[in-house]
């Protein structure tokens, strides 16, 4: 799987927006927990959908019973996420990223506190590929660690994800991000900083941490020109 190179500043990377489950009777995901950015775009996506039919018990037809349509089955999406920090063998980022994916199958603290326990809801998105963009839950995560540092820390892994559509959720309103809450993507230009973006977006420079968390930025002092940043909705920013 090739790593993005020189022309990569214009390369659109796939992301997995991880949201709190909805509160109350809302059909839309809750606040953004994490925006998981793919280090490498998927080499393959498997998308499936089925229609459910049922045979009726009728003896009146010569060639067998006429099936009855029972409804459409929600879509399923299978994909692989490849993680690699072999150029930084002392980095434990691969371990943390796998843990964050595994947590997509675990009940969130916020949903427990609201007495509506549920794992996160997620939205896979990859540029203009709208067919594969829908609200879903993660039914399974399988991680294969394939390379380790001398200290035993995983530095390469392949994660198999299976996503199941949540059919009653409202479709995304923002064609850029595909997420359900009001948020947008900003492409970094010369002179941008997290503090300046937070001031422009929220009127509060101290809200830069929300942008850093949403985009997994470990060093806020390094903000390469051409990087696409997800700017969380104002309602999702904790001040």
Between the ranges 3-7, 28-32, 183-187, where is the mean pLDDT highest?
A: 28-32
DSSP per-residue string spanning 29-48 = --SEEEEEE-SS--S-EEEE
How far are the Cα atoms of 16, 74, 183, 187, 204 from residue 191, in angstroms, in the given order? 28, 45, 22, 12, 18
Give the pLDDT mean for 54-80. 78
Average pLDDT, the chain: 81
Of 120 and 182, the one with more pLDDT: 120
How far is residue 149's CA from residue 59's CA, in Å, rounded to a whole number?
Answer: 67
Of 44 and 200, the one with more pLDDT: 44
Of 59 and 131, the one with more pLDDT: 131
Domains of the chain: 13-48+74-171 (no CATH), 182-239 (3.10.350.10)
Give the pLDDT mean for 43-61. 81
Q: How many other CB atoms are found less than 10 A from the CB of residue 72?
A: 11
User: pLDDT tens-digit profile of 188-202?
Assistant: 888 888 888 888 887
């Amino acid at each position: 799987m090739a790593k993005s190179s020189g022309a990569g500043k214009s390369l659109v990377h796939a992301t997995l927006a991880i949201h709190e489950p909805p509160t109350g009777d809302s059909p839309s995901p809750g606040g953004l927990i994490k925006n998981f950015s793919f280090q490498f775009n998927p080499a393959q996506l498997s998308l499936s959908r089925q229609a459910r039919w049922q045979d009726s018990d009728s003896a009146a037809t010569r060639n067998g019973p006429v099936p009855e349509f029972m409804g459409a089955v929600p879509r399923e999406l299978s994909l692989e996420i490849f993680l690699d920090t072999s150029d930084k063998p002392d980095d434990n980022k691969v371990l943390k990223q796998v843990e964050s994916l595994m947590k997509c199958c675990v009940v969130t603290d916020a949903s427990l506190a609201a007495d509506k326990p549920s794992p996160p809801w997620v939205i896979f998105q990859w540029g203009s590929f709208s067919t594969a963009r829908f609200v879903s839950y993660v039914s399974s995560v399988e991680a294969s660690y394939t390379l380790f540092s001398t200290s035993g820390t995983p530095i390469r892994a392949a994660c198999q994800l299976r996503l199941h559509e949540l059919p009653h959720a409202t479709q995304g309103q923002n064609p850029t991000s595909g997420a359900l809450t009001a948020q947008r993507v900003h492409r970094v230009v010369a002179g941008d900083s997290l503090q300046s973006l937070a001031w422009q977006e929220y009127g509060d420079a101290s809200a830069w941490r929300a942008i850093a968390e949403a985009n997994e930025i470990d060093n806020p002092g390094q903000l390469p020109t051409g990087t696409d940043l997800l700017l969380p909705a104002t309602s999702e920013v904790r001040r």
